[in-house]
Amino acid sequence: MADEEVVVLGFWPSTYGTRATIALDEKGVKYEYREEDLSNKSSLLLQMNPVLIHNGKPVCESLIIVQYVDEIWRDKAPLLPSDPYQRARVRFWADFIDKKVFDAGKKLWSTKGEEHEAAKKEFIEILTQLEGEIGDKPYFGGERFGFLDIALITFYSWFYAFETFGNFRLEAECPNPKLIAWAKRCMQKDSVCKTLPDHKKVYESVIGMKKMFGME
């Protein structure tokens, strides 16, 4: 509606904030994006707690935001399946992604020695499990890009950093051709390619974080 106000508060490297903008773009919703400095939070960010503000009301947590967007703008193509069992399955895997992918990836650039080797093994196993879930489908939900694709694709711009600090390449060390093909397919979508940051810029950001926290 013309009188709606939609604001997204984000931080460019965030794997979570970008979910909101992808969902909104998929629905064709106009919104204002405001880049936030997490080391110097604005009063609005402190008050609203990112990421989405709809007509002055805050909606928090990225997966909840994507579900909210899907429910509010019902006249557009759905992001979640209509079947209750399939919806439950999608939510299970989205929760799996949130609990597993970032933490395992972080260990690749923040640990050393045996812990680092264990993190590498864990990360590859996680992606292998996700590859098993997508199977031969173009997208996790089938023929159409949806909720679970949004949940995972925002990590793709971090894969270069994960691989570089982990000293491995996914194509060489785990059977992920389907997952990589899926990621490239997602990157062909305007909602994704215009939102995700450049992978080398993310890598440089991680180097900065390592320096900040004395992890060099």
For residues 207-216, give the mean pLDDT.
76
Can you count the helices (H) and strands (E) in the chain?
A: 11, 4
Residue 139 burial class via C-beta count within 10 angstroms: exposed 0-12, middle 13-18, buried 19 and up: middle
CATH number at residue 178: 1.20.1050.10
Q: Please write the tens of the pLDDT for every residue from 75-103.
A: 999 999 999 999 999 999 999 999 999 88
Please tell me whether residues 206 and 101 are part of one structural domain.
yes
Please tell me whether residues 12 and 58 are part of one structural domain.
yes
Flag whether 79 is in a domain.
no
- The more confident residue out of 2 and 157 is 157
The strand pair at 32-35 and 51-54 is best described as: unpaired
Please tell me whether residues 20 and 89 are part of one structural domain.
no
Structural domain boundaries enclosing 148 = 84-212
Please tell me whether residues 66 and 89 are part of one structural domain.
no
CB 109 within 8 A of CB 165: yes
Q: What percent of the chain has pLDDT over 90?
A: 67
How many domains are there within the chain?
2
pLDDT band at 2 (very low <50, low <70, confident <90, very high): very low
Q: Please write the tens of the pLDDT for every residue from 27-74.
A: 999 999 988 765 555 444 434 345 899 999 999 899 999 999 999 999
Flag whether 142 is in a domain.
yes
Beta-bridge mates of residue 54: 6, 57
Cα separation, 158 vs 183, whole angstroms:
12
pLDDT of 45: 40
Please tell me whether residues 162 and 193 are part of one structural domain.
yes
Residue 79 burial class via C-beta count within 10 angstroms: exposed 0-12, middle 13-18, buried 19 and up: buried
Q: How far is the first Cα of the chain from the last one, in angstroms, to the nearest whole number?
A: 50
Please tell me whether residues 65 and 124 are part of one structural domain.
no
H/E stretch holding 97 reads helix 84-110
- Kindly report the number of other CB atoms within 10 A of residue 58's CB atom: 16
Q: Could you say which DSSP state residue 157 is in?
A: G
Q: Please write the tens of the pLDDT for every residue from 112-128.
A: 999 999 999 999 999 99
Whole-angstrom CA distances from 91 to 12, 80, 140, 196 are 25, 9, 12, 22
CB 6 within 8 A of CB 29: yes
CA 206 to chain centre: 16
